[in-house]
Chains A and B, each alone.
Chain A
Amino acid sequence: MNEIKPSKLERNIDYFTLRQEVEEFLYDEAETLDQREFSAWLEMLSEDLTYFMPLRRNVKYGDHAERENTREGEDISWFEEDKWTLSKRVDQIFTEKHWAEEPLSRVCHMISNVQLLSAAPNVASAEEVTSKCRFLIYQNRVETESYFFVGKRTDTLRKEAGDWKLLRREIILDQNVLLAKNLTVFF
């Protein structure tokens, strides 16, 4: 499940135009987060957002589709939440007492390999679009602490009142035992 499949959409001018729009959204979002504009970031999220990051397990060859990732709606994952919970995370930072982010970490989001997977009703006049990308997030904390989070993301954007909003984000972090003490960065 949740496998990122190669994009089947025809590469034409509509595809590249839409991809550019999606990329612009994703880059804006990364910039907003890196600038620590957390309230502005929440504005980019749909009220119906799903934000999901499974755990990754070592499983036998052939079992990957079935068992590698924990299942949304069934298992314990790193994140399976909505906009309410993410708003709480932002509120927590704003208390100035969230010790894991006080003082704030320095965070840098790199987004690449953006490809479109599907668009509805169609690529030329999309109201909803699903893309995949790679991410590399660098977190530097306090004095010498640093972490790299590298993986794949599948994002669905939906047009709401003329603006793209993030409707669904699935984060596939390429780690088994998490090598960071905390996941305080937004992915």
Chain B
Amino acid sequence: MDQYRHFDELVNLEQGTIAREIFVDEDIYNQELEKVFTRAWLFVGHESQVPEPGDFFTSRMGTESVILTRDFENKIHVLLNNCTHRGMKVCLYDEGNSATFTCPFHAWSFAPDGKLVGVPHENELYSHVLEKDKWALIEVAKMENYKGSIWATWDKTAPDFFTYLGSAKAHLDLALDSLDGSEGGTEVFGGVHKWISPCNWKVPAENFCGDSYHNPSHISVDMIGIGPSAGQGEKGRRDNELADAQHVWVSFPGGHGIHSALKPENNAYIESYKDNPIVEEYYRHCYEERQKRLGDDARLVPFVGTIFPNTSYHGRQPRALCAWHPNGPESAEIWRFFLVDKGAPKEVKDMLRRYYMRYSGPAGMTEQDDMENWNYATAGSRGTIANRLPYNYQQSQNIHKINDPVPGLVSTQMTEENARQYYKCWSSYMQDKSWDEIMSHPAQVKDERI
């Protein structure tokens, strides 16, 4: 079919080019909402935002409002925030606790598990017609609570979350596990950054899947120094804990791309977080604990990554999960959730909060400069003449290795391979391909389920 061949031309991996229109075209954007956002696994929130039965946190999947709830059996749900009667939002609040969600329009009410539990004048007006169990709030097809982070998909045929994540899991773990290497143990701070950024949602997703080439964007913060040792005169936007590490850029089946690093065999601790001795001590202690706990695996340390299509993480400095919500072809609504070890001392949490705030988001000295570039790079994808030339994605083409030194399609030098694979996967979704085709990838591990 023509429309499908079209996407292979827009994303041309042989040449290493990608057409500009995928970042601005209205029709492509509208197709993405259906073809990408109703199928892929999306990040919704964190269990620490709904600790008690009846707690809810209102989130977003694609362009639509969803409610993350904890029911009275302690089960977590993700429900479309859209009344099954006429579409009014049944939850008007960003967060809170409620035994039911009562629609403000005609007052149908729904339990935290989504069930329709109350219909005004039900007996007179709906006698024997209304089958209440058919009119529950729409619930996601699959949900996963992974180390506290909540993910969901609308597609019941989607692979389970762990198959979807594949070997990218080891890298996402670096953000979700505790600094001392114990599994999980993280929570999100109260306060989720939400803002409108005039860029196509794929631009920041690509940025976080391994565009380490964009360092020049951050020259100003690197010059002045804003990291956790900046008070001691250290320059850079973060402390360089990776000074002696081998950086790796890795692409995975499903389109995920990460940038992590492998510390040398001795895995020596590099003194960091020097502005506060308590924080420094905590990081040093956790570093040693992690090494004891994980042995050689402790050499893997995080930088950034994107889980296809629109969730990214910062692994350590700072440490956060971010959703790039589509909000029109040239607009993204960005939500960032900041992660911290639940058990970290107050001094550590305070120092990190303040560092996160000066680094990330619209008030963050680092990310402000990203936002400016994402904005005008998106706008630059619009020109008629400009559109005659696709974007160049040829960086480090054909130099990758498979499963060496870590699982996945790996480059040990800066590369746009992660971006190429990300868009190849995007193009598969846009062509309505099967899950097997979507998950096909140069580093595909044989599926054992068969």
Residues of A with Cβ closer than 8 Å to B?
53-55, 57-60, 63, 67, 70-71, 73-81, 84-85, 88-89, 91-92, 95, 97-101, 176-184
Contact = CB atoms under 8 A, between A and B. Distances in A.
B212 to A, nearest CB: 18
A91 B95 contact: no
Given A77-B191, A92-B224, A183-B363, A177 B353 contact: no
Contact of B93 (A59, A71, A99): A59
B94 A182 contact: no
How many chain B residues sit at the interface, stated as a range, is: 35 or more
B300 interface: no
Contact of A178 (B92, B217, B362, B369): B362
Interface centre among B192, B195, B197, B230 (most CB of A within 10 A): B195
A92 B94 contact: no
A53 B191 CA distance: 12
Given A57-B95, A95-B223, 8 more contacts: A76-B338, A78-B362, A80-B354, A80-B357, A88-B230, A98-B369, A100-B369, A181-B195
A99 B369 contact: yes
B220 A95 contact: yes
B350 interface: yes
- Nearest 9 pairs of A and B residues by beta carbon: A76-B191, A178-B195, A75-B190, A100-B368, A75-B191, A70-B191, A98-B220, A97-B220, A183-B363
Contacts of B371: 100, 181-182
5 contacts: A60-B93, A84-B231, A99-B373, A182-B368, A183-B362
Contacts of A95: 219-220, 223-224
A76 B372 contact: no
B226 interface: yes
B174 to A, nearest CB: 21
Given A60-B93, A178-B194, A182-B362, A81 B231 contact: no
A57 B363 CA distance: 18
Interface of B: 92-96, 189-198, 217, 219-221, 223-226, 230-231, 333, 338, 350, 353-354, 356-358, 361-363, 365, 368-369, 371-373, 375
Contacts of A100: 368-369, 371-372
B315 to A, nearest CB: 18
Contacts of A75: 189-191, 353
Contacts of A81: 354, 357-358
A181 B375 contact: yes
Contact of B372 (A79, A91, A182): A182
B226 to A, nearest CB: 6
Nearest to B199: A181
A30 B368 CA distance: 23
B357 A181 contact: no
A76 B190 contact: yes
B196 A178 contact: yes
A57 B191 CA distance: 9
B92 A58 contact: yes
Nearest to A85: B358
A149 to B, nearest CB: 11
Given A60-B96, A99-B217, A182-B362, A88 B226 contact: yes
Contacts of B193: 55, 76, 78, 178
B111 to A, nearest CB: 18
Given A88-B226, A88-B358, A181 B191 contact: no
Contacts of B354: 80-81, 85
Contacts of A85: 226, 354, 358
A59 B92 CA distance: 8
A172 to B, nearest CB: 15
Nearest to B350: A73
Contacts of B375: 181
A97 B223 contact: yes
B314 to A, nearest CB: 14
B352 to A, nearest CB: 10
A59 B338 CA distance: 21
Contact of B224 (A71, A76, A88): A88
A179 to B, nearest CB: 6
Contact of B189 (A53, A63, A76): A76
A84 B225 CA distance: 12
A58 B93 contact: yes
A164 to B, nearest CB: 26
B190 to A, nearest CB: 4
Contacts of B361: 78
A88 B365 contact: yes
B189 A79 contact: no
Contacts of A84: 231
A107 to B, nearest CB: 15
A59 B95 contact: yes
A59 B192 CA distance: 14
A82 B240 CA distance: 24
Nearest to B358: A85
A99 B220 contact: yes
A181 B96 contact: no
Nearest to A78: B363
Contacts of B196: 177-181
B296 to A, nearest CB: 35
A115 B307 CA distance: 50
B220 A63 contact: no
Contacts of B197: 181
Contacts of B357: 76-81
Contacts of A78: 193, 357, 361-363
B278 to A, nearest CB: 16
A92 B93 contact: no
